[in-house]
């Protein structure tokens, strides 16, 4: 088993921010390992885990691998090329409006497109390094999800 990095993100962030995640980490038995509260440590049956809290001013996209990502139109499910998707994402990052789907010419926000595997949009994420091949330990996900009161998703970070 190799070391892998995962980003854990709320599936629907709502108004939750970095402070909510700090409170959730404390509730989940983590201790701050730096003064700024970005690095946290927990000893549990999952072993010693370090998690890093990442907070951004604007929502970021979290996805594993664009080469295998499939994007589709939310109206007719026609695949959207990655080139079109990249253009839609740059427009969205630049504060542009909705993306016009090439297949049906309807407007859709980048968050509304169909993604396989899922793409998450969040201002707050937890980064964890583990030896698991199939994702962060499920116990860890359950603890943090309960504490923050939101379902969580994760993506593998390809460095
Ligand atoms: Zn369409």
Compute, in angstroms, the gap from residue 109 CA to the centroid of ligand 1: 13
What is the whole-number distance in angstroms between the Cα of residue 90 and the centre of ligand 1? 20
- The answer, yes or no, to whether residue 43 has pLDDT greater than 80, is no
Tokens describing residue 68: 């295998």
Same domain, 10 and 55: yes
pLDDT at 159 (0 to 100): 63
Instruction: Give me the domain span that covers residue 88.
Output: 78-120
Label residue 159 exposed, middle or buried (CB < 10 Å: 0-12, 13-18, 19+). exposed
122: three-class secondary structure by DSSP: strand
* Claim to verify: residue 116 and residue 133 sit in the same structural domain: no
Q: Which of the four pLDDT bands, split at 50, 70 and 90, describes residue 84?
A: very high
Total structural domains within the chain = 2
Cα(139) to centroid(ligand 1), Å: 39
User: How many angstroms is it from 86 CA to the middle of ligand 1?
Assistant: 17
Torsion from C-alpha of 21, 14, 153, 82, nearest 10 degrees: -130
Within a domain: 72:
no
Q: From the CA of 83, how far away is ligand 1's center (Å)?
A: 16
Q: Are residues 14 and 51 in the same domain?
A: yes
Is 152 part of any domain?
yes
In angstroms, what is the span from residue 98 Cα to ligand 1's centroid?
14
Q: Give the pLDDT band of residue 44 (cuts 50, 70, 90).
A: low
Q: Average pLDDT for residues 5-19, to the nearest whole number?
A: 90
Token duo for residue 142: 């359950």
Q: Could you tell me which residue, 134 or 126, shows the higher pLDDT?
A: 126
Write down the mean pLDDT value for the chain: 89
Report yes or no on 93 lying in a domain: yes
Name which of 127, 126, 119, 118 is nearest 4 in CA terms: 127
149 Rama class: left (phi>0) / alpha (psi -120 to 50) / beta: left
For the segment 127-146, what is each residue's pLDDT rounded down to a tens digit? Answer: 998 876 778 888 888 989 99
Do 103 and 126 lie in a common domain? no
**pLDDT of 65 over the 80 cut:** no
- Based on the domain organization, do 85 and 113 belong to the same domain? yes
Cα-to-centroid distance, 113 and ligand 1 (Å):
10
| Average pLDDT over every residue of 77-105 | 92
What CATH number should be reported for the domain holding residue 149?
3.30.70
CA of 105 to the centre of ligand 1 (A): 7
- What is the Å distance from ligand 1's center to 27 Cα? 44
Question: What is the pTM (predicted TM-score) of this model?
Answer: 0.86
């Amino acid at each position: 088993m190799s070391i892998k990095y995962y980003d854990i993100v709320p599936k629907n962030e709502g108004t939750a921010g970095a402070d909510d995640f700090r409170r959730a980490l404390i509730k989940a038995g983590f201790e701050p390992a730096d003064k700024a509260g970005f690095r946290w440590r927990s000893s549990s049956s999952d072993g010693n885990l370090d998690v890093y809290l990442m907070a951004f001013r604007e929502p970021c996209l979290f996805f594993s691998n664009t080469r295998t990502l499939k994007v589709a139109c939310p109206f007719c499910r026609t695949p959207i090329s990655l080139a079109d998707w990249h253009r839609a994402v740059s427009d969205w990052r630049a504060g542009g409006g909705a993306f016009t789907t090439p297949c049906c010419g309807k407007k859709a926000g980048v968050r509304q497109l169909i993604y396989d595997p899922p793409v998450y949009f969040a201002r707050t994420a937890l980064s964890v390094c583990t030896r698991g091949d199939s994702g962060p330990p499920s116990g860890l996900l359950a603890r943090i999800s309960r504490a923050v009161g939101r379902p969580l998703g994760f993506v593998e970070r390809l460095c």
